[in-house]
Every structure is written in structure tokens, then in C-alpha cells.
């Protein structure tokens, strides 16, 4: 099993002077292919910051991020964009689909942006949509779909074109319990098929789908567990604070 994502001693300071916020203060983490890692922690602990830096959307103040052996620090903006098209898939809490594009077009977007022909990218998109079980909704617009359907489209967009790293920031936050479970099942299946996944969540139930759980607080990893058995106790500790 190869390491897809390696994060070493990552720090990130937002703002300057008075309003300086240390969102991350030296986080290290590595995720292998086939592995799903859950990141938990209270609000403001730096989870989203970690994910945006891991995906190359934001750059760290210190430390390194390496994806499939490539260090992000030295990459130009264009190369980072290419990395997001080819290697990293993102899933957001509020879906972030483009309302002007159909489901299939949303899914095909990374491929099209990468220069694939419309036809080829649509074929890949249809495949990805079938995989998440909503192939029949391909030509619907996001506004005509339920939240769960939209999140499936978002997952399809995150995996289309065989991307090896999936970063999901509270993908179930806006969904009801059942739909949330289905979405997690999809992520799990995707990782079982060989991708690496990072899942930010604050529901222990969801963390149970992960192979490992990382706890963040005030920008530091306060615990790292193997199997997610001790999750409940740790979570209890952090919420009764």
C-alpha cells in the first residue's frame, strides 16, 4: 500500500498581528491508498484549514504536503489546479454544485477543464454517476434534485477520472441521517476500491466508517486512534470541556 497523502509538521496562521489566528500548529498525518481517515474536533479546531491545504486550495505557513510523491509547496498555481483536476477530489458540506450546469456536466467539469473532449468527459461522468447510483438523473439541474442526490453528484465529481485522494469536509452535515449513511457508504466503497480518503466529521457514528480517527483541537493533533473504538470517550472528553 502506497502513501497517497503525507502531511508533515503543518502550520497555518490566518491574519496578522492582533487578529492573528493559529489555525494549525504542527500537524502531521499520512494516508495510504485504500484507507479512510476521519478527522474530528470541535468547531474552529482547524479541520477545514487542514483539508483546504491538503487539497492545494490554500498554502501552509510552514510544513509540507506531499500528494502521490509530489510536494505541493513548489507548485505553481496552474500546476496546483491540474493536481485538483487529476488527483484530488473535494466534497463539501453544502455540495457546491454549479447550478447552471446539469448533473452530468458538473461531474464532467474537472475532466473538461483538463482538456478532455465533451464526449469523453461525459462518458466518464456517466460512469461516475452510475457508480453513485443516480445515472438516471444525469441531465437534471442541481436545483431540481434533493440534497442527498446533490451530494452524490458532488461525490461523483470528486472521484471522476480515477482520482486517488478524496477530501470530504462534513459531507453529511446538510443531510438527514439515512441519506448521510448512504453517502458515507459510497465514500467507504471508493476507498475500498483503492483511493485514499480524508473525512471531516463531528459525528462519531460517521467516524465509525473510517479506518483511523484523528482528533484536532486548537490546531494540534491531540489523539490518533487505530480502530475507532475509543471514539466515544474521546469525543465525550472534548465536548464536556
Partner 1 sequence: MTRFFRGWRPMLRIARRDALRTRGRSILVLAMIALPVLAVVALDTLGRTSDVTPREGLPRQLGSADALVTSDGDTFAVDQNADLSWIVAGSAGTLLPRPDAATVSTVLGAGSRVIALTGGELAVRTRGGVSRPTGVELDLRDPMTDGLYDIRAGRMPRTLGEVAISVRFADRGFSVGDRITLDDGRTRRVAGIVESTGTLHQNTVLGLPGSLGVHNSTAHQAWLVSRPGGVDWAAVRQLNAQGLYALSRAVVEHPPPKSQLTVGAVDGSRLGSTQIAILALVVAMAVLEVVLLAGPAFAVGTRRQQRSLALIMATGGERRDVRRAVLAGGLVLGAVAAGVGAVGGVAVAWAARPVVQGFSTNVLGPFELSARDIAAIALCGLVSAVLAAVAPAVLASRQDVVAVLIGRRGSTRTGLRSPLISALLLTGGVGLAVIGARQVAGELTIAVAAVLAVVGMVGLIPLVVAQLGRAARGLPLAVRFAVRDAARHRSRTAPAVAAVAATVAGVVAIGIGGASLTAQHRATYTPRGPMRAAVVQNPAARPADWAAMRAAVAARLPASRVRSVLGLHEFVPVTADPEGPVDSMDIQPADSGASRIAMATTNSLGAYVLVGPAALDTLAVPMTVGQRAKALRTLADGGVVMLLPTDPGVSQATVVKLHAVDRSSDPKPVARWTVPAMVLTPRGTTMPALAIVSEQVTRHAQLPPAVTSLIVDRVTINQHVEDDLSAAMSSVSKTSTVYVERGFQDDSTRIILLLLGSVGALLVLGGTLTATFLALSDARPDFATMSAVGAGPRTRRLVAAAYAGTIGLVGAVLGAAVGFVPGIAVTFPLTSSSWIPKGAAGTDGTVLPDHFVDVPWLLVTGLVLVLPLVTAGIVGLTARSRLPMISRLS
Ligand X SMILES: Nc1ncnc2c1ncn2[C@@H]1O[C@H](COP(=O)(O)OP(=O)(O)O)[C@@H](O)[C@H]1O
Question: Binding residues for Mg ion, per CB under 5 A?
Answer: 48
Piece of 111-119, 196-204, 205-213, 219-227 that binds partner 1 (CB under 8 A): 111-119
Could you say which of Mg ion, partner 1, ligand X, none residue 149 binds, taking C-beta under 5 to 8 angstroms by partner kind? none
Question: Which is nearer to ligand X, 15 or 115 (by Cβ)?
Answer: 15
The yes or no reply on residue 81 touching partner 1 (CB under 8 A) is yes
Could you tell me the smallest distance in angstroms from the CB atom of residue 78 to partner 1?
A: 5
The yes or no reply on residue 10 touching partner 1 (CB under 8 A) is no
Give the C-alpha separation, 153 to 136, whole Å. Answer: 12
**Core vs surface per residue 37-72: b (16+ CB within 10 A) or e:** bbbbbbeebbbbbbbbbbbbeeebeebebbbbeeeb
Sheet holding 220-225, edge to edge: 88-91, 165-169, 196-200, 36-40, 212-217, 220-225
Piece of 15-23, 28-36, 84-92, 135-143 that binds ligand X (CB under 6 A): 15-23
Question: Which is nearer to partner 1, 81 or 220 (by Cβ)?
Answer: 81
Of the CA atoms within 13 Å of residue 120, those in its CB half-sphere come to 9
Could you say which of partner 1, ligand X, Mg ion, none residue 197 binds, taking C-beta under 5 to 8 angstroms by partner kind? none
Question: Which is nearer to Mg ion, 14 or 123 (by Cβ)?
Answer: 14
Residues 6+ apart with CB under 8 A from 22: 11, 12, 13, 218, 219
The yes or no reply on residue 172 touching partner 1 (CB under 8 A) is no
The yes or no reply on residue 45 touching partner 1 (CB under 8 A) is no
HEC profile of 64-83: EEEECCEEHHHCCHHHHHHH
Candidates 31, 83, 153, 175: give the one binding partner 1 (CB under 8 A): 83
Cell of 56: 492545494
Candidates 8, 44, 61, 141: give the one binding partner 1 (CB under 8 A): 141
Residues numbered 29 to 58 that lie near ligand X (CB under 6 A) are 41, 43-49
The yes or no reply on residue 98 touching partner 1 (CB under 8 A) is yes
Cell of 194: 483503492
Could you tell me the smallest distance in angstroms from the CB atom of residue 48 to Mg ion?
A: 3
Determine the size of the site formed for ligand X (CB under 6 A).
12
Q: Where are the alpha helices (DSSP H) in the chain?
A: 47-54, 77-86, 103-113, 118-131, 147-159, 177-192, 204-207, 231-239
**Element holding 225 (H helix, E strand):** strand 220-225
Q: Which residues lie near ligand X (CB under 6 A)?
A: 14-15, 21, 23, 41, 43-49
Amino acid at each position: 500500500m502506497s502513501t497517497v497523502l503525507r502531511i508533515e509538521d503543518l502550520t497555518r496562521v490566518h491574519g496578522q498581528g492582533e487578529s492573528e489566528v493559529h489555525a494549525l500548529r504542527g500537524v502531521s498525518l499520512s494516508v495510504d491508498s485504500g484507507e479512510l481517515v476521519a478527522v474530528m474536533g470541535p468547531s474552529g479546531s482547524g479541520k477545514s484549514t487542514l483539508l483546504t491545504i491538503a487539497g492545494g486550495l490554500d498554502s501552509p505557513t510552514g510544513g509540507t504536503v506531499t500528494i502521490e510523491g509530489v510536494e505541493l509547496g513548489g507548485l505553481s498555481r496552474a500546476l496546483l489546479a491540474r493536481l485538483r483536476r487529476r488527483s484530488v477530489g473535494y466534497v463539501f458540506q453544502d455540495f457546491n454544485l454549479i447550478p447552471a450546469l446539469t448533473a452530468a456536466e458538473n461531474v464532467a467539469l474537472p475532466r473538461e477543464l483538463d482538456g478532455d473532449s465533451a464526449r469523453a468527459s461525459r462518458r466518464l461522468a456517466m460512469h461516475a454517476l452510475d457508480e453513485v447510483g443516480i445515472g438516471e438523473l444525469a441531465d437534471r439541474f442541481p436545483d431540481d434534485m434533493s440534497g442527498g442526490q446533490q451530494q452524490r453528484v458532488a461525490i461523483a465529481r470528486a472521484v471522476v477520472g480515477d482520482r486517488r485522494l478524496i477530501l470530504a469536509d462534513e459531507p453529511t452535515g446538510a443531510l438527514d441521517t439515512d441519506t448521510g449513511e448512504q453517502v458515507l457508504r459510497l465514500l467507504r466503497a471508493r476507498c475500498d476500491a483503492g483511493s485514499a480518503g480524508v473525512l471531516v466529521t463531528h459525528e462519531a457514528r460517521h467516524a465509525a466508517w473510517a479506518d483511523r480517527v484523528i482528533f484536532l483541537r486548537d490546531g494540534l493533533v491531540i489523539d490518533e486512534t487505530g480502530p475507532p473504538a475509543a471514539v466515544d470517550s474521546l469525543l465525550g472528553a472534548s465536548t464536556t470541556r
